[in-house]
Amino acid sequence: MSPFNLQTCARPNILALEPYRCARDDYKDDGTNILLDANENAYGPPLANGSTLTPKDGPSLDLTTLHRYPDPHQAPLKQLLCNLRTTHAHTPKTLTPANLFVGVGSDEAIDALLRCFCVPGRDKILVCPPTYGMYSVSAQVNDVGLVKVPLLPAPTFGVDVPAVTAALSGPEAAAIKLVYLCSPGNPTGSLLGKEDVRAVLEHPTWNGVVVVDEAYIDFSAPEASLAEWVAEWPNLVVMQTLSKAFGLAGIRLGVAFTSPEIARLLNSLKAPYNISSLTAGIAEFAVSEGGGLAKMRENRARLIAQRERLVKEMPTIEGVGRLRGGEDSNFLLFEMLNKDGKPDNVTALAVYERLAEAKGVVVRFRGKEHGCLGCLRITVGTEEEVTRFLAELKQTLAEVRGTAPAADEEKREVEASGVVA
């Protein structure tokens, strides 16, 4: 028999790892559900007719070269991304391809930064909960410690600058190599203040890197992105993705804007062909003026209209509490109230489960996150999806709070009475 013992062979931090989970680990899509849990773009990718690449003057997708390895440097794509994010709203300087790392989703950049700056078993990162869960998952995978400084209370969910500054000045400061800030936040939906980010960057003694995750930035105010600010700050990394506003979650394309020096390190440690030719070609089309940008902006406007509709109509439903975060993303964080009118995790979890299991509507329960008691995170869907969601939420809250019969019970009562519905 082999002497192999997984428990003694694998790294202890990996054995103890709790993987990042999503709602679809519990509720699979059977083709009839509406999926409002993962902050995807419900209107899909910015392609003509929803399925083909038909650029006017942008790049075309060449399928005849797939027998060749892809370009390991992605220079054309990087230049298009620089064109997109150089707005001169924050600096007169101009981004160049030397400022970019392109990876398999933002998750590759999150992990690459940890491997680049943190010594396993010694160094730490600082996160500000409630925030994106992959920062802590990647830290544990890499055997990197975690320092948590919570955001300010809802509904602001801003950076607690004095607390972060204190953490970066205290006894653990030398071990903290990275600060991860999510803006707009997930699950908060709130844009972080530019001056708060500046305050962390300007810490007088801390020697580390500030990472601003802007996955949802295109749903915020115009020119809100701090990407071009990396031309001013040598210790700033701004991460973005094509998964959200561009509706291209399936191609897994993430971007990190940073100084040429940090970009050189990230590009040196990546796999040589981490981005496929197909991914790069679709991404080039999506971010080009002659390609998908117009369609992306059209779809974004439709989603923002539905976001505004949810903000207006959600509070009219009995059992829906306060909007606890901001309105800068393609999702909203709302409280679910119990019979006493208080936010409650039992109620929120019951609504989450019943919506998915009985109604085919999958949202995300976030009640266990810091400052999110009783909260569900609802991705903004299409007009039809939002209409269905609002109706199902109203019925489900009534059922959970005991103010209306369950849908199947109501159906039985109608059948028993002989009334045709």
Asked if residue 311 is part of any domain, the answer here is yes
Domain that holds residue 401: 7-44+294-406
Q: Give me the number of domains the chain comprises.
A: 2
> Are 174 and 74 found together in one domain?
yes
> Are 276 and 203 found together in one domain?
yes
Mean pLDDT of 290-304: 94
The full DSSP string for 364-396 is EE-TTSTT-TTEEEEE---HHHHHHHHHHHHHH
The rounded percent of the chain whose pLDDT value lies above 90 is 71
Domain termination residue (choose one: 292, 323, 339): 292
* Residue-level pLDDT at 421: 32
| Site of tokens 């392609």 | 47
> Are 246 and 298 found together in one domain?
no
Asked if residue 211 is part of any domain, the answer here is yes
Please name which of 298, 395, 267, 376 lies closest in space to residue 47, comparing C-alpha atoms: 298
> Are 199 and 185 found together in one domain?
yes
> Are 37 and 75 found together in one domain?
no
> Are 186 and 303 found together in one domain?
no
pLDDT of 16 over the 70 cut: yes
> Are 287 and 159 found together in one domain?
yes
Q: pLDDT (tens digit, 9 = 90+) per residue, 93-110?
A: 999 999 999 999 999 999
Domain termination residue (choose one: 276, 292, 308): 292
Residues in contact with 312: Cβ distance below 8 Å, sequence separation at least 6, in sequence order: none
Asked if residue 185 is part of any domain, the answer here is yes
Asked if residue 326 is part of any domain, the answer here is yes
> Are 217 and 173 found together in one domain?
yes
* Residue-level pLDDT at 76: 93
- Confidence grade of residue 35 (pLDDT, cut at 50, 70, 90): confident
> Are 322 and 273 found together in one domain?
no
- Find out whether the peptide bond into 72 is cis, omega within 30 degrees of 0: no
* Residue-level pLDDT at 414: 36
Asked if residue 415 is part of any domain, the answer here is no
* Residue-level pLDDT at 126: 97
SS3 content of the chain, % helix, strand, coil (to 5): 40, 15, 45
Residue 49: phi and psi, rounded to 5, are: 60, 15
pLDDT of 328 over the 80 cut: yes
pTM greater than the 0.75 cutoff: yes
Average model confidence (pLDDT) across the chain: 88
Asked if residue 221 is part of any domain, the answer here is yes
Asked if residue 413 is part of any domain, the answer here is no
Which two three-digit tokens encode residue 6?
């997984």
More confident residue, 363 or 43: 363
* Domain harbouring 155, CATH code: 3.40.640.10
> Are 278 and 359 found together in one domain?
no
> Are 14 and 82 found together in one domain?
no
Beta bridge partners of 254: 103, 241
Domain termination residue (choose one: 292, 318, 342): 292
Please name which of 326, 370, 377, 329 lies closest in space to residue 351, comparing C-alpha atoms: 377
> Are 204 and 317 found together in one domain?
no
Q: pLDDT (tens digit, 9 = 90+) per residue, 41-79?
A: 777 777 665 555 555 555 566 666 677 788 888 999 999
Asked if residue 62 is part of any domain, the answer here is no
- Confidence grade of residue 198 (pLDDT, cut at 50, 70, 90): very high
* Domain harbouring 385, CATH code: 3.90.1150.10
